[in-house]
């Protein structure tokens, strides 16, 4: 196994802010940089439109000339990342002035089971070992200061593009790291909302990494919290952080899913599968059943849940069977008033959205992608198990099923 290292096409100075894009783009064209044993790509990947080197030099010069930001008066806090579907500890209404919120993410390429029933697996590319990556929560005008590390045992180059941020390809141009490296990026959260983030090394490596799980979400709350359309405060008891992931897993001739020895070994065959635009799996939180059965989400009648739905690559349409979206920020922007009383909402590929619901009945609620083929066959289903007292005013089985004689 050859690690995906600089093939000598370009100097790899830290000053070359988009080096990874160039290198990955070159690799994508041949499929041969990932591993010496990777078969050539039957359909060559087109040359991505890369920025001209002169443009990069200008950008670098401007960055070197820029006055340093004075953040000396700001408090620093560390946010402990937690595994999805959970959310880190946070305030819904900010106290005090804007802060610098330090977070750490570790890039971890790991073999993950996608579906226990079929044995489908993938060398997932993850932030902190989970698909999706962890949820980051800050308030508007806070600064996110990310330390991004890549494990030495990884094979590939990675970076991160925050849709919530401004500049340098969402930070993607400043965060390319190879196995065993780390980098620190700070960005100001100027726009309130929920936003996706994802790896974007360049060229075909971008969808390859994103479709191997390398994405997640950031929530930037307004400093005074969420509001309805009339400006009244909205609060939640829990967050359910759901990352929908489309996988395109190569198959053997007999229809079973292929297995690979190392991350990156599936590159050429993955690209062929991705070209179909037809996922073999569309799952919540990394694998079929990750949020059902014993892994189901729990709640109670009277409790309010904020459902954050991230989809970095492909359109989807969440629906809570047996409930509603009482307040929905479909596009993710908290600058806009939420829509109300929705049955199904639309999450554009490459974005995150949020929906708030207060449970009124006990029982099981299925939270699905309401393309029901994707929900029931490809895996995009989660369950909420809700405790509490049944309300016959809202629903009653007036006559149990019986022989009608008709
Ligand atoms: Cu990556």
CA distances from 8 to 12, 54, 268 (A): 8, 19, 22
161 is catalytic: yes
Q: How far apart are CA 88 and CA 82, in angstroms?
A: 6
Catalytic residue among 97, 224, 343, 387: 343
- Residue 25 Cα, ligand 1 centroid: separation in angstroms? 13
211 is catalytic: no
Q: How far apart are the first and last CA of the chain?
A: 69
- Residue 334 Cα, ligand 1 centroid: separation in angstroms? 28
- Residue 130 Cα, ligand 1 centroid: separation in angstroms? 13
212 is catalytic: no
Assign 192 to helix, strand or coil: coil
- Residue 229 Cα, ligand 1 centroid: separation in angstroms? 38
Residues with Cβ–ion distance below 5 A, ligand 1: 125, 158, 199, 209, 214
Per-residue pLDDT for the chain (406 aa), expressed as one digit of tens each?
444 433 333 333 333 333 344 334 434 333 333 443 444 445 555 555 566 777 777 788 888 999 999 999 999 999 999 999 999 999 999 999 999 999 999 999 999 999 999 999 999 999 999 999 999 999 999 999 999 999 999 999 999 999 999 999 999 999 999 999 999 999 999 999 999 999 999 999 999 999 999 999 999 999 999 999 999 999 999 999 999 999 999 999 999 999 999 999 999 999 999 999 999 999 999 999 999 999 999 999 999 999 999 999 999 999 999 999 999 999 999 999 999 999 999 999 999 999 999 999 999 999 999 999 999 999 999 999 999 999 999 999 999 999 998 8
pLDDT at 45: 56
Q: What is the largest CA-CA distance in the chain?
A: 85
- Residue 205 Cα, ligand 1 centroid: separation in angstroms? 8
199 is catalytic: yes
Q: How far apart are CA 198 and CA 107, in angstroms?
A: 12
pTM of the model: 0.89
Q: How far apart are CA 52 and CA 273, in angstroms?
A: 31
Catalytic residue among 109, 115, 126, 163: 163
Q: Concatenate the DSSP letters of all residues of 246-291 into one string.
A: EE---B-TTSPBP--SSTTTTHHHHHHHHHTT--SEEEETTSTTTT
Please check whether residue 142 is in contact with residue 190, taking contact to mean a CB–CB distance below 8 angstroms. no
Reported as type and span, the H/E element at residue 62 is helix 53-65
- Residue 151 Cα, ligand 1 centroid: separation in angstroms? 12
Please check whether residue 147 is in contact with residue 100, taking contact to mean a CB–CB distance below 8 angstroms. no
309 is catalytic: no
238-387 — its CATH code? 2.60.40.420
142 is catalytic: no
Q: Strand (E) positions, 158-209?
A: 161-162, 182-188, 193-198
């Amino acid at each position: 196994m050859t690690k995906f290292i600089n093939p000598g096409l370009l100097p790899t100075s830290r000053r070359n802010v988009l080096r990874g894009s160039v290198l990955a783009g070159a690799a994508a064209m041949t499929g041969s940089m990932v591993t010496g044993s990777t078969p050539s790509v039957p359909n060559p990947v087109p040359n991505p439109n890369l920025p001209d080197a002169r443009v990069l030099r200008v950008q670098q010069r401007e960055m070197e000339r820029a006055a340093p930001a004075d953040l000396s008066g700001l408090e620093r806090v560390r946010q402990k990342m937690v595994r999805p579907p959970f959310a880190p500890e946070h305030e819904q209404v900010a106290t005090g002035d804007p802060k610098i919120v330090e977070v750490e993410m570790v890039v971890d390429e790991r073999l993950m089971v996608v579906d226990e029933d079929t044995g489908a697996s993938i060398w997932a590319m993850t932030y902190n070992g989970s698909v999706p990556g962890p949820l980051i929560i800050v308030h508007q005008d806070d600064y996110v200061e990310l330390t991004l590390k890549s494990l030495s045992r990884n094979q590939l180059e990675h970076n991160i593009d925050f849709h919530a941020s401004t500049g340098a390809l969402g930070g993607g141009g400043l965060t390319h790291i190879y196995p065993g490296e780390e980098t620190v990026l700070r960005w100001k959260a100027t726009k309130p909302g929920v936003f996706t983030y994802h790896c974007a090394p360049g060229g075909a490596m971008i969808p390859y990494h994103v479709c191997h799980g390398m994405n997640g979400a950031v929530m930037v709350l307004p400093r005074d919290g969420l509001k309805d359309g009339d400006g009244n405060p909205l609060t939640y008891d829990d967050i359910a952080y759901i990352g929908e992931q489309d996988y395109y897993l190569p198959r053997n001739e007999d229809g079973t899913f292929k297995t690979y020895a190392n991350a990156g070994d599936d590159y050429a065959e993955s690209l062929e599968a991705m070209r179909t635009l037809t996922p073999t799996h569309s799952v919540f939180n990394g694998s079929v059943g990750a949020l059902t059965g014993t892994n189901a989400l729990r709640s109670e009648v009277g409790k309010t849940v904020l459902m954050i739905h991230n989809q970095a690559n492909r359109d989807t349409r969440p629906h809570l069977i047996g409930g509603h979206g009482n307040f929905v920020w479909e596009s993710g922007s908290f600058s806009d008033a939420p829509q109300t009383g929705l049955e199904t909402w639309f999450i554009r590929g490459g974005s995150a959205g949020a929906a708030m619901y207060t449970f009124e009945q006990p029982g099981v609620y299925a939270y699905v992608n309401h393309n029901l083929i994707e929900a029931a066959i490809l895996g995009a289903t989660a369950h909420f198990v809700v405790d509490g007292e049944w309300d016959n005013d809202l629903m009653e089985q007036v006559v149990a099923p019986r022989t009608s004689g008709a």
